[in-house]
Each structure stands twice: as C-alpha cells, then as structure tokens.
A = this chain, B = another copy of it.
Amino acid sequence: MRVTVNRKAHFNAAHRLCRKDWSDETNAEIFGKCSNPKFHGHNYELIVSVTGNIDPKTGFVMDMKLLKELIQTEIEEPFDHKNLNEEVPEFYDLNPTAENIVVVIWNKLRAKIDKKHDLAVTLYETPRNFVTFNGAK
C-alpha cells in the first residue's frame, strides 16, 4: 500500500522578482511591485509530501522525525531569515518566483530522499498564493 506522508515547515525570507540581465525598467514593467529593488518578504509555508510503501516493520513510510530534520537542514537553515536573491546561492542567477523556489526545494530534498519514494512539495508564498511541484516534466 502506497501512502503519502506530509510534513509542514516554514521559513521567513526577503526577496524581489528580478532578472539581473534586464534593466530596472523592464523588471518593473514585468513584475510590478514584486520587483521593488529594496525587497519585500514572505512567511513561506511548506508542505513536503513523501509517497511510498508502508514499512511492515515500523508502520512508517518514513520516520517523520527524520523528514522534519531533513527539512530543517536542507531548507529552513539555509533559507530562513535570509534574502533569497542575495544570500541563497541557488537564486544568484535565478529569479526567486514561487515556481522557481519550489523546484529548488524539490531538487534539494530529492537528492536526500530514498529513490523508492515519490516526492512532492507545496509552497505557500502567501495564504492566497501557492505552488506545487512533484518532479513532472
């Protein structure tokens, strides 16, 4: 039986939407107030979803304590209370839209989670806007 286990986490960060290879005018035209050069920020809320068979020994798909610690090490510590554009290397040359952030998070976690498990990540940028990625191409 394949069950999905989900764990919520969160981090607070500053960002702006911008491409370094565009002028400020073009960034403002395309991204509006989200491109404010002085930055704005969000409480990002995260749901990490791991799908796999229930281990008949433990009754777990995976130990949620380990998943919680993995999210802390891989996502919360490097992202929390940071400026995504200027302090998180993945976004030095990548526009930190919610879509790009959720793919970066998925890739970081995918590298650390057993390949027999499927992975999906949901990222709330605000309580009204959120994105989901499950590795689909």
Contact = CB atoms under 8 A, between A and B. Distances in A.
Interface residues of A, number: 61
B1 A81 contact: no
B60 A130 contact: no
Contact of A5 (B33, B94, B99): B99
Interface in A17-58: 17, 30-34, 36, 38-43, 45, 49, 54, 58
Given A14-B14, A59-B99, A99-B54, A131 B5 contact: yes
* Copies of this chain, tallied across the complex: 6
A82 B39 CA distance: 7
B14 A38 contact: yes
Contacts of A99: 3, 5, 54, 59-61
25 contacts: A3-B131, A3-B132, A3-B133, A4-B132, A5-B99, A5-B130, A6-B129, A6-B130, A6-B131, A6-B132, A8-B129, A10-B127, A13-B40, A32-B65, A33-B80, A36-B81, A39-B39, A40-B80, A42-B42, A43-B43, A45-B127, A54-B100, A59-B96, A59-B100, A60-B97
